[in-house]
């Protein structure tokens, strides 16, 4: 399966609010792609549509050339971390992952491997409802990685992480990208993305206003933050 994301002419309105006017971009494998824009620009809506959680009014959102609902083994095609990732609070972190893994025929050993990788092995049997925001983010990342997917989509992955968590997340995203995966992350942290992302897509009011290598943006505007501020005025 191709490690690509293709968004073409995506449109979506909520009542009188046009969340997506004409969203078009491609995410390529091998690098982290930053997805940035002001509050309400349409980042989460685009991600939700990509993951089959919302329906567009027009256009297409494809993962490896297919719509989410046409994927036969979704966990093995795309890993996602969305804000407020659904959690059953009374379930332990481990049971949360086991339930997900078993739903798609993945072995329990994979769950323990992931708990270790995200640093939750020590608290895996505690109820997830008591987890801190950072621990929930880590559990969400473990869920995203379960099926070893070629495409990762993460909405604000640095939310709630402590400084060691930032280092860990940065490293994880870089490594996954270097392995040849497509990694799309939304974030408001321009300083972070400037170093981490090889490519940036800037959106404003439901459409793409810039789609370029991070280095080109820095060369033209001085910094990613300046580019962002200039492009979204």
Ligand X SMILES: Nc1ncnc2c1ncn2[C@@H]1O[C@H](COP(=O)(O)OP(=O)(O)OP(=O)(O)O)[C@@H](O)[C@H]1O
The correct pick among 7, 33, 42, 92 for binding ligand X (CB under 6 A) is: 42
Task: Point out which span in 37-45, 87-95, 139-147, 208-216 binds ligand X (CB under 6 A).
Answer: 37-45
Mark residue 232 as left, alpha or beta (left: phi above 0; alpha: psi -120 to 50; beta: remaining): alpha
Binders of ligand X among residues 6 to 25 (CB under 6 A) are: 14, 17, 19
| Choice between 44 and 194, CB closer to ligand X | 44
Would you count residue 34 as binding ligand X (CB under 6 A)?
A: no
x/- map, 79-118, ligand X, by CB under 6 A:
----------------------------------------
The correct pick among 10, 43, 51, 194 for binding ligand X (CB under 6 A) is: 43
* Contact by Cβ (8 Å): 33, 109: no
Closest CA to 3 of 25, 33, 27: 27
| Choice between 50 and 128, CB closer to ligand X | 50
Residues whose CB is less than 8 angstroms from the CB of residue 201 and which lie 6 or more positions away in sequence, other chains included: 25, 27, 33, 34, 35, 36, 208, 210, 211
Closest CA to 19 of 209, 208, 206: 206
Q: How many residues of this chain interact with ligand X, rule: CB under 6 A? A: 11
Write down the least CB distance from residue 204 to ligand X, Å.
Answer: 9
* CA angle in degrees (0–180, nearest 5) for 122-77-209: 100
| Choice between 6 and 156, CB closer to ligand X | 156
Could you say which DSSP state residue 123 is in?
G
Neighbour tally for 222: CB within 10 Å = 11
Exposure class string for 165-189: b at 16+ Cβ within 10 A, else e: beebbbebbbebbeeebbbbbbbeb
The correct pick among 31, 33, 44, 137 for binding ligand X (CB under 6 A) is: 44
| Choice between 101 and 203, CB closer to ligand X | 203
The correct pick among 32, 41, 143, 169 for binding ligand X (CB under 6 A) is: 41
Task: Point out which span in 36-44, 64-72, 85-93, 172-180 binds ligand X (CB under 6 A).
Answer: 36-44
Which residues would be at the binding site for ligand X (CB under 6 A)?
A: 14, 17, 19, 37, 39-45
């Amino acid at each position: 399966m191709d490690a690509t994301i293709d968004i073409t002419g995506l449109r979506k309105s909520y009542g009188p609010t046009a969340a997506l006017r004409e969203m078009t971009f491609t995410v390529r494998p091998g690098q982290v792609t930053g997805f940035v824009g002001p509050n309400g620009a349409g980042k989460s809506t685009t991600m939700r549509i990509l993951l089959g959680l919302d329906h567009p009014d027009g256009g297409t959102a494809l993962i490896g050339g297919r719509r989410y609902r046409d994927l036969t083994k979704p966990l093995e095609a795309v890993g996602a971390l969305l804000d407020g990732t659904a959690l059953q609070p009374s379930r332990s972190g481990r049971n949360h992952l086991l339930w997900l893994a078993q739903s798609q025929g993945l072995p329990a050993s994979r769950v323990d491997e992931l708990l270790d990788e995200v640093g939750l092995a020590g608290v895996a049997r505690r109820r997830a409802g008591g987890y801190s925001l950072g621990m929930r983010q880590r559990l969400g990342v473990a869920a995203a990685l379960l099926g070893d997917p070629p495409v990762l989509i993460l909405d604000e992955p640095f939310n709630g992480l402590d400084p060691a968590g930032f280092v860990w997340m940065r490293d994880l995203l870089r490594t996954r990208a270097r392995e040849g995966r497509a990694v799309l992350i939304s974030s408001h942290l321009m300083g972070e993305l400037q170093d981490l992302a090889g490519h940036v897509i800037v959106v404003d009011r439901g459409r793409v206003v810039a789609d370029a290598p991070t280095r080109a943006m820095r060369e033209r505007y001085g910094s990613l933050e300046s580019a962002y501020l200039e492009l979204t005025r």
